[in-house]
Structure 1
Amino acid sequence: MNHHDSLTPHQLRSTYEGQKSQPFDLSATVATPLELHRCTVQAAWVDYNQHMSESCYLYVFGDNSDAFFRYFGIDDDYRMRGYSLYTVETHIRNRREAALGEPLRLTLRLLDFDHKRLHVFHEMFHAQSGVLLASAEQMLMHVDMRAGRAAPFPADIQQRLAVIHAAHSVAARPADAGRVIAITRREAKVNADAAAE
């Protein structure tokens, strides 16, 4: 039985809790995008519409972020030293439903970073059909938890992020990155076109 099946909302934990980061090889090829997390839709994630609840999409994207953190060196030991990454903003775009028992494959690209922030882009695919189910764009902030404020990444972490970003910035930017939520109205476009004539 997967441990997620019996969790109450107060017991939610990352799949990667307790897993340590592996040494980061600065000379190794960085995959674009990274594929670090896979999972299966659990019974506890399925809602009254018989597909994965919207909150659980965020939960799965959160696990994908945690896998990424461990990839470049942020794990529980790092957090015990008083530092972590907090989410500042998330934008999820749902494209297709995911049903109970379906396999999921997650990808992640580091779109940008600075000394305190990460801008990442996730995609969730059906692991068998390859259909894109959802995407998520996030801004994350490196935080000194004891001081309760943003803090610079250590130099070694910044160096690793630079290597990842250099690899990921070569590929074309994802089409949904920077997408704005808005109701576009056909009559406004028609009026604008008429005014231009």
Structure 2
Amino acid sequence: MNNKDAASVHQLRSAYEGQKTEAFDLNAAVAKPLELHRCTVKPEWVDYNRHMSESCYLLVFGDNSDAFFRYFGVDDDYRSGGHSIYTAETHIRHLREVALGEPLRLTLRLLDFDHKRLHIFHEMVHAASDTLLATAEQLLMHVDMKAGRTAPFPLELQTRLDVIRTAHAQDPRPADAGRVIAINHSHPT
């Protein structure tokens, strides 16, 4: 990698980098779903088809994940201790085109977790019209970065995640969660 490539990689930052986790109240109501991230489609996100490039959907969903991490206790200070959360799998559904300058509102549901993994579901909604634009489902892993392998969440974070999962389990599971990519030959388009 040359210096120009290294500089461009260094410029990619989460919208939440540097933001601290706020105190988590185990007795406070948890929003169902969580609404932690909003943004507007930037010029650098628009491609040659004049709508948001597919890679930028993942960028926006990633920022939503980062907002969630800070919500339950994973921020820059936490990561400085040698642990972080990595993505193992992502499934994005692009439902509507999104144009330059359009306002986006993101929601997030914690579908499940265990001592090392999170299963989350995002919805990207047009903030003015409430039109569902895209969904993303992710499997994330808690990682010991020094050891280079998965590691259990600390008990304090598992307790917070349990509070969130319990709240989110009260609503029906999103219809798009768990979808499989396949061509259904019995229903030609």
Same fold (TM over 0.5): yes
Structure showing greater radius of gyration is 1
Q: Secondary structure at the match of 1:182?
A: coil
TM-score, normalised to structure 1's length? Answer: 0.90
SS at match of 2:139: strand
Q: Which residue of 1 aligns with 2:167?
A: 167
Say if 1:70 and 1:187 are closer, same or farther in 2 by CA, change over 3 A. Answer: closer
| Matched residue, 1:46 | 46
Return the letter of the residue paired with 2:128: Q
- Identity between Structure 1 and Structure 2 (%): 73
Offset, 1:9: 4.9
| Alignment RMSD (CA, Å) | 1.3
CA distance in 2, matches of 1:43, 1:17: 21
Q: Secondary structure at the match of 2:39?
A: strand
Q: 1-side partners of 2:98 and 2:58: how far apart?
A: 13
Structure 1: which 4+ aligned runs deviate by more than 2 Å? 7-10
Task: Give the TM-score taking structure 2 as reference length.
Answer: 0.94
| Structure 1: 5+ residue stretches without partners | 1-6, 189-197
Q: Which amino acid aligns with 1:119?
A: H
1:17 partner amino acid? E
- The one-letter code matched in structure 2 to 1:18 is G
Counterpart CA distance in 1 for 2:81 and 2:63 is 21
- Name the residue aligned to 1:181: 181
What's the offset of the Cα at 1:186? 1.8
**Aligned residue for 2:71?**
71
Whole-Å separation in 1 of the counterparts to 2:126 and 2:172? 22
Aligned residues: 182
> Could you say which residue in structure 1 is the equivalent of 2:103?
103
